[in-house]
Amino acid sequence: MIVVALGLWFGFPVAIRSVTGRRIEELCRRRKLIALTFDDGPVPGMTERVLEVLDELGVKATFFMIGSLVEENEDLARQVVDKGHQVASHTQNHLNAWRVGPIRGVGDVRSGMRSMKDRELAVSWFRPPRGNATLGTVLSCWLHGCKMIWWTHDSGDTGFGSGKTDMGIREILKKVATGGKKSVSTEDVMCPEKREGLLCSLEETGGVVLLHDGKRTYEGYQELTLECTRDIVRRAKDKGFRFITLNDLK
């Protein structure tokens, strides 16, 4: 009985991810669509830079915002909407649903939605932090009239998922901290072959791309996000892809 309950609790969202992921992939491939998504903001100093780059490229994107940061930076969240982008929820405190109890996990989803709705920021999509969701996350999301979505392509702009190992990044950061290196360069956190792989795959299939406008410890990480965004848009536009927000997917 316990095994069945646990299987449902953790397995149901995995099944949804797989089914919706395949449908989105198919739709994006058929219609040549790419949705850029930025997680973990709004953060002063970074979100504005992302907005500038999107303006310069002439595309709209979707921002998965953390409720506590929306409360601190309400004007910035509104600026994102005023520029024609879409906002969505990414919980209140970015808790990992697989690491906290069910009550805290569900509460984090609910509070995140409320923080945005209380400020009249329309929310119709939700993405779980680190992609980890439970049955409680799914039900809470549905109760708030939101759809859950993950991503089809990880840009690797956090340094993870880029082909560099976790240890490699820690080593780099240690060097920075000890003065052995002045800043993190984009080459340090993302190997060029993996970047090329990401761009080639997107040019083939389109999809939903994961990027971040959250808090960054080092300048290099900010630059990596902006560089990835420019590369993706320029190359995919040349191949005839259209950039959309998630509401356009519906």
Least separation, in Å, of the C-beta of 212 and Zn ion?
7
Report the number of secondary-structure helices (H) and strands (E) in the chain. Answer: 10, 8
Interaction pattern, residues 40-59, with Zn ion; x per rule: CB under 5 A:
x-------------------
Beta carbon of residue 166, minimum distance to Zn ion (angstroms, whole number): 17
Residues in contact with Zn ion, total (CB under 5 A)?
3
Q: Which stretch binds Zn ion (CB under 5 A): 104-112, 114-122, 123-131, 157-165?
A: 123-131
Instruction: Quote the tokens at residue 135.
Output: 């049955």
Cα separation of the two ends of the chain: 37
Q: Which is nearer to Zn ion, 158 or 186 (CB)?
A: 158
The yes or no reply on residue 105 touching Zn ion (CB under 5 A) is no
Least Cβ distance, residue 131 to Zn ion (angstroms): 9
**Interface with Zn ion, residue 157, by CB under 5 A:** no
Q: How far apart are CA 145 and CA 159, in angstroms?
A: 33
Subset of 21-40 contacting Zn ion (CB under 5 A): 39-40
Residues that bind Zn ion (CB under 5 A): 39-40, 129
